[in-house]
Chain A
Amino acid sequence: MTIPNAAANAAPPEEAGQAPIRPLAASTAAAPMVAFEAVTKRFGEAGGKPGFTALDGIDFTVARGAITGIIGRSGAGKSTLIRLVNGLEKASSGRVTVDGVEVGGLSEHGLRDLRRQVGMIFQHFNLLTSRTAFDNVALPLEIAGVDKKTIRDKVTPLLDLVGLGDKAGRYPSELSGGQKQRVGIARALATSPKLLLSDEATSALDPETTQSILELLKRINAELGLTVLLITHEMEVVKEIATDVAVIDRGRIVEAGSTFDVYASPKHETTRTLLATALKLPEWLRNGLKAQPSVGDRVLVRLVFFGETAFKPLTGRLVSELGSDVNILAGGIEEIGGKPFGSLVVSYSAAPDVVERANRFYAETGLSTEVLGYVA
């Protein structure tokens, strides 16, 4: 499954076949930054034993300059997936290419070169406790053999960029979680990478700090034109910053597209489940849901407003059209990918005539709806 992005799909033909390894700089702007082609990863394969299949036939591209989110529950394979991009894990079969270069075909030396062009941030920050914020950011440059003066010229503006200009001499133990992740981000940017990998970077942070870290990532993406690939189990994170999203479940990508489309009309069960937690339906409501109605039940419907429908007074009309009481249970208006997006969970009688009138109204107005279930 490919992200529906015209630019991302227009890969030069030689990339589809067994292209020779080209220098990283020679890529064209239209080619995707990262491409997975029929990628499979198995663990613990030995002596004919099949082992555990972590990833199963992944076809997926990450568009240049975009923020792409991969969302899935824990154990879905997303950590493995992101580690294939910088070669921390090797694919069992299939091809992973970064900027046109096949990762699996690289020598140890080539792999190290690639890793200097791909920054990575981690859930638990992984900062060296024995180094100050400044020296942590300097580490990738030291590793690349950059001289002391250049390091100083590079690190100071990076610490300013992430808002820690005054914390250069502090050790990680003196910093808060959010500040540590900012150091992590500055460190990942030190070698001026073209791709940033984010491995659950906000999962260990409180909601407010998460928000500020996401803002920072968004800003970096916009200002530096850096492609970002992030994995998360939180729909909120994807909704907040990702332009594109792929949903991964048991080692397969089950749904992919622009965040807005996936959010507005989720097709796969896993996506719906992940969305349901993001929708914050009250616990008692989620637990009481039934798949089939019985007489006298009420139907629970999620109405989604976006594009044109976002600005029309449709809820009021719905009530008068139905001729039945409509109960509003949950809802809100948010912004996804810069577009307004409203969602409203309502319930009304599941009697066939009411439901029919409602469906006619939806068809007429172009309102996007999803039946969540039935309650007594």
Chain B
Amino acid sequence: MSPDMMFNLLTKALGQTLQMVVIAGLIGSLIGLPIGVFLATSGKGELFPAPAVNRVIGLIVNAARSTPFIILVVAIIPFTRLVTGTSIGTYAAIVPLTIATIPFFARLVEAAIREIDTGLIEAARAMGATPMQIVFKVLLAEARPALMAALTMTMVSLIGYSAMVGAVGGGGLGDLGIRYGYQRFMPEMMLAVVVVLIVLVQLVQSAGDLLARRFDKRNRKN
């Protein structure tokens, strides 16, 4: 295989990976965020007390998180077909990736919000804030650095997950590595895929760290 061909295959696969990770990451995080906030605020005596609902959602989240991703991909094929009209291809792969992102991100959001000093919630209540105002003006605002770190972690995990969706013809870098590098005995392709993935993860992590630091005003030096 000529270097040109290899390059073309790599850029195409990188494009597919980015497409899957970005779309699944954004949609999954947007849905996961309110679920995470709810998990963190619906315990007994908290802002939106609903301990029973909290337990049920907690159970569902745990169940989704303990299902191996490759099984999730196959198990939800009917749902995928319902959403995208097909069960094969990059778009079809975005559905299980999104579904896997939601509980993952929700738990990270919950942890980020539970980190916030309860004194701040009390202060906001003493000011006459509504529970919704407390969520937006206190919890989400104060958790911004931790939420940024959670989003970074989610994106990095998604890059890993996206390697598995070759199983349903999702394409992407992982799929390229398996089909060419492993099944067609092309170690140079395998190496190229791994290098590209390492660089990609590094970039995402650095960008995330930078943003998280920018949001974090807790340890500012003069």
* A129 adjacent to B138 (CB under 8 Å): no
* B122 adjacent to A88 (CB under 8 Å): yes
* B218 adjacent to A129 (CB under 8 Å): yes
Q: Mark A171-212, 1 if CB is under 8 A from B, else 0.
A: 111100000000000010001000001000000000000000
Stretch of A118-126, A151-159, A220-228, A242-250 at the chain-chain interface: A118-126
Q: How far is the CB of A215 from chain B (nearest CB, A)?
A: 23
A29 at the interface (CB under 8 A from B): no
* B128 adjacent to A143 (CB under 8 Å): yes
A86 at the interface (CB under 8 A from B): yes
Residue from B130, B133, B141, B222 within 8 A of A131 (CB atoms): B141
A356 at the interface (CB under 8 A from B): no
Which residues from B are CB-within-8-Å of A86?
A: 126
Q: How far is the CA of A218 from the CA of B128 in the complex (A)?
A: 25
Which residues from B are CB-within-8-Å of A88?
A: 122, 125-126
Measured CB to CB, the residues of A under 8 A from B are: 86, 88, 111-116, 118, 120, 122, 124, 126, 128-131, 139-140, 142-144, 171-174, 187, 191, 197
Which residues from A are CB-within-8-Å of B119?
A: 122, 124, 126
Residue from B123, B128, B144, B215 within 8 A of A112 (CB atoms): B128
Q: How far is the CA of A115 from the CA of B218 in the complex (A)?
A: 28
Given contacts A173-B220, A174-B222, contact A142 B122 (CB under 8 A): no
Which residue of the partner chain A has the closest CB to B141? A130
Which residues from A are CB-within-8-Å of B127?
A: 115-116, 139-140, 143, 187, 191
* A113 adjacent to B128 (CB under 8 Å): yes
Q: How far is the CA of A120 from the CA of B222 in the complex (A)?
A: 29
**Interface contacts beyond A116-B127, A126-B120, A130-B215: sample of 15 additional A-B pairs, CB < 8 Å, sorted by A:** A88-B122, A122-B119, A126-B123, A128-B138, A129-B142, A130-B141, A130-B217, A131-B217, A139-B137, A143-B128, A171-B217, A171-B220, A173-B217, A187-B127, A191-B128
Which residues from B are CB-within-8-Å of A113?
A: 128
B66 at the interface (CB under 8 A from A): no
Rank and list the top 9 A-B pairs by shortest CB-CB distance, nearest first. A115-B128, A126-B123, A112-B128, A140-B127, A171-B217, A126-B119, A120-B126, A116-B128, A143-B129
B219 at the interface (CB under 8 A from A): yes
* A143 adjacent to B133 (CB under 8 Å): yes
Q: How far is the CB of A168 from chain B (nearest CB, A)?
A: 15
Q: How far is the CA of A217 from the CA of B174 in the complex (A)?
A: 65
Measured CB to CB, the residues of B under 8 A from A are: 117, 119-120, 122-130, 133, 137-138, 141-142, 144, 215, 217-220, 222
Q: How far is the CA of A118 from the CA of B125 in the complex (A)?
A: 11
Residue from A120, A142, A171 within 8 A of B123 (CB atoms): A120
* A140 adjacent to B141 (CB under 8 Å): no
Which residues from A are CB-within-8-Å of B126?
A: 86, 88, 115, 118, 120, 197
Q: How far is the CB of A282 from chain B (nearest CB, A)?
A: 37
Residue pairs across A and B with Cβ atoms less than 8 A apart, 26 shown, are A86-B126, A88-B125, A88-B126, A111-B128, A114-B128, A115-B125, A115-B126, A116-B128, A118-B126, A122-B122, A128-B120, A128-B141, A129-B218, A130-B142, A130-B144, A130-B217, A131-B217, A139-B127, A140-B127, A143-B130, A171-B220, A172-B217, A173-B218, A173-B219, A191-B127, A197-B126
Q: How far is the CA of A140 from the CA of B128 in the complex (A)?
A: 8
Q: How far is the CA of A124 from the CA of B122 in the complex (A)?
A: 12
Which residues from B are CB-within-8-Å of A197?
A: 126
Which residue of the partner chain A has the closest CB to B138? A128
Which residues from A are CB-within-8-Å of B120?
A: 126, 128
* B122 adjacent to A126 (CB under 8 Å): yes
Which residues from A are CB-within-8-Å of B142?
A: 128-130
Q: How far is the CB of A130 from chain B (nearest CB, A)?
A: 5
Which residues from B are CB-within-8-Å of A120?
A: 123, 126
